[in-house]
Structure 1
Amino acid sequence: MKHSRMTELPEDFYIPIPLDTNNITSLSPFLVPQDHLSNAGIFYAMSFFMLFIFVVGTFINTLTIICTIQYKKLRSHLNYILVNLAISNLLVSLVGSSTTCVTFGCRYFIFGPLVCKIEGFLVTLGGMVSLWSLAVIAFERWLVICKPLGNFIFKPDHAAACCVFTWIIALVASAPPLFGWSRYIPEGLQCSCGPDWYTSNNKYNNETYVMFLFCFCFAIPLATIVFCYVQLLITMKMVAKAQAESASTQKAEREVTRMVVVMVVGFLVCWLPYASFALWVVNNRGETFDLRLASIPSVFSKSSAVYNPVIYIVLNKQFRSCMKKMLGMSGGDDEESTTSSVTEVSKVGPA
């Protein structure tokens, strides 16, 4: 496939077309298959992958919410935030993955411009809630284990306030394109919708919106996550050194280290491709790029609906035990002796 350039259409969207194509009105992503962008096999592979994300993501996140409702012991302050994460992941899975499964299968955005805006907004909203929930989880771990505020106790009311905060801040980040600051248009292979980071149209001030998202919804949460987890590692190293003879403390320190690495890597896998590619496009206007590559960041961000709950929920012993019990699976963890790994770590923190 040849490189692409962006051409403006009267319908108020931009469409990538091969350099030697002139009849742009015949290539609308809302009207005809986008076979000029890639072969059918790529579209169908994307559709199958989105089907996998939809089925698995919907199942895991729905099970998380139902387990929390059914089992009272899961209703701790940290688990409130995990359920908030599950709700946001479920929104991305139900709206984003299901829609793009169909549109990739049809090879164009069959649902039209209005649904494109709705899908782009809701997926961005869910993604931002998910992203900020990860930052809140890191912040909560820092408060509980490192105790920077002394004897301050992180209560359920604080957790609920943090959950509300994630939705407010996500709404602030995702609503502007609905009111003229940037816009939601087809992206990548034109089968999913997101903020317009392709164009430099002064009418929509896309560059400033992309920079706003990068700073406000990527750099700040990432800095929060890295700072809190680095402090957590330092604290655990100090405790492990002071209790060098304690096998349980040494084991907890190793578990925390692995947990931190997995959490930070998971965050970067989810959001770094999207943020980096959008930032590259904004700062390299006029450069050509392959639209198949432009679809990868969007797919990675949607796949977070699966690996976020795996990292934060399924690997949580308490949640895993309840899930196994609900599904009638034998060989689950002992309910009385099982607690979440992060709660176990909290017990070896400084007094």
Structure 2
Amino acid sequence: LNYIKNRNSVLQQPKNFLLINLALTDLGLILTNTSLHSIASFNKNWPFGQQGCSFYGFCGGVCGLTSIATMAAIALTRLAVVIDPFSSLRLTERFALKCIICSWIYGLIWMIPPLFGWNRFVLEGFGTTCTFDYISKDFWNRLYIIIIVIGGFLIPLIIIVVSYTIILHKLSKRSHHLIDQNVYKKSFPIHLEQQNGYYFISNSPNYETYRNRTKTFFESNETTRMTQIIRLTEARATRTALLVLFIYCTAWGPYAFMTILSQTGFEHYVNMYTTAVLGLFTKTAACINPLVYALSSSGFRRYICIYSNFFYKCYLRSYPISSPTYDFNRRNLTITITARPTASVWSQQ
């Protein structure tokens, strides 16, 4: 996403800065956590000591919580655009950078206390990853767990759910209003008598009949086309909202639920296998999140398709494929094998 943004000046707009920040946070999560996790997995233990464990947990927590805050900020900016369509024009680089700085500060706030004694970073799973201590049940540790679950997960979730619910409600209400206005008020009149192609009809004695029938035909087609566009926009917005909520809840919901279980007397359900699987969910979401948000943006979606098509053509040119075809001879029941032209030949034609 950063490569596409830097190569195309059209995408270098303040409204896309949050998408780039989301990609950077998820990239940081992959670089700092996945690399150390891979080394520890091949080593079959944690070779970096307590300092490496603190570094792993701190970087993973900051990048993860900053990603969550960025998702909530994207939901709020989209809500502002739907409520006030001209707000996107007033979105400046300074305001976008302030949102990005606030999201990083939001992530840092929750991960600094374990570095100074309020909670701590410990090994989890098979002893190849680290996170904050959600097993200990002393008062201060429980207080930290409650605060981080509420502030780091529930509040952003409520913001995302409420924002996209209002967006879908506003789009549905606005679309019904436009459809009713188009049908009953006929806001798209077509005066065919002004077109040269229909000038011969105006000299006909049945001019009014032809005019009314043709006008009704074109107006009904225009109404149908506009209705289809509005419905398509609603479906796309609904699909994006549900997909964002699904990825958010799938990535971070089980982890938050696991911390609550460990603090409410059900820690026997929390074992090395569940923690390893839940950590895999968060890392998988880090790979999918930026792509989902980028595909929901028309600008990024268009350039992603362009570059994907370009790399696919380069692959075909580099690796020509030839496959046999079979020619059946009905008289002697023999099969002749011939080769098709390669993909590079087809591309040259």
Secondary structure of residue in 2 paired with 1:194: strand
2:11 alignment partner in structure 1: 74
Runs of 4+ off more than 6 Å? 148-152
* Matched AA of 1:89: D
2:294 alignment partner in structure 1: 313
Matches within 5 A, 1:204-215: 205-215=140-150
* Matched AA of 1:224: I
1:184 alignment partner in structure 2: 121
2:71 alignment partner in structure 1: 134
Report how far residue 150 of structure 1 moved.
Answer: 8.2
Deviations 1:244-281 (A, max 9, x none): 34221221111111111111111101110100001110
Establish whether residue 121 from structure 1 lines up as the match of residue 58 from structure 2: yes
1:253 alignment partner in structure 2: 234
Establish whether residue 145 from structure 1 lines up as the match of residue 127 from structure 2: no
C-alpha spacing 1:121/1:237, structure 2 compared with 1 (3 Å):
same
Structure 2 CA distance, aligned partners of 1:293 and 1:277?
9
Q: TM-score, normalised by structure 2?
A: 0.71
Matches within 5 A, 1:1-351: 64-147=1-84, 153-201=90-138, 205-244=140-179, 245=223, 246=226, 247-284=228-265, 287=268, 289-323=270-304, 325=306, 328-329=310-311
Secondary structure of residue in 1 paired with 2:127: coil
* Matched AA of 2:17: Y
Contact 1:91–1:126 under 8 Å retained in 2: yes
Q: What fraction of aligned residue pairs are identical, expressed as a percent? A: 24
Q: Which has the higher helix share?
A: 2
Q: Which range moves more in the overlay, 241-250 or 320-329?
A: 320-329
Report how far residue 109 of structure 1 moved.
Answer: 1.2
Contact 1:218–1:271 under 8 Å retained in 2: yes
Structure 1 CA distance, aligned partners of 2:125 and 2:49?
16
Unaligned runs of 5+ in 1: 1-63, 332-351
Aligned residues: 266
* Matched AA of 2:127: Q
Whose Rg is larger?
2
Contact 1:140–1:154 under 8 Å retained in 2: no
Deviations 1:318-347 (A, max 9, x none): 22433455563368xxxxxxxxxxxxxxxx
Secondary structure of residue in 1 paired with 2:274: helix
Structure 1 CA distance, aligned partners of 2:85 and 2:155?
20
C-alpha spacing 1:257/1:320, structure 2 compared with 1 (3 Å):
closer
2:345 alignment partner in structure 1: none
Report how far residue 151 of structure 1 moved.
Answer: 9.7
Deviations 1:73-132 (A, max 9, x none): 111222100000011001100011111122122222122221111011001000011000
Secondary structure of residue in 2 paired with 1:329: helix
Backbone CA RMSD of aligned residues = 2.2
Unaligned runs of 5+ in 2: 180-222, 314-349
Contact 2:135–2:267 under 8 Å retained in 1: no
C-alpha spacing 1:230/1:174, structure 2 compared with 1 (3 Å):
same
Deviations 1:181-219 (A, max 9, x none): 1111111222101111011245xx221111111111111
Structure 2 CA distance, aligned partners of 1:157 and 1:180?
36
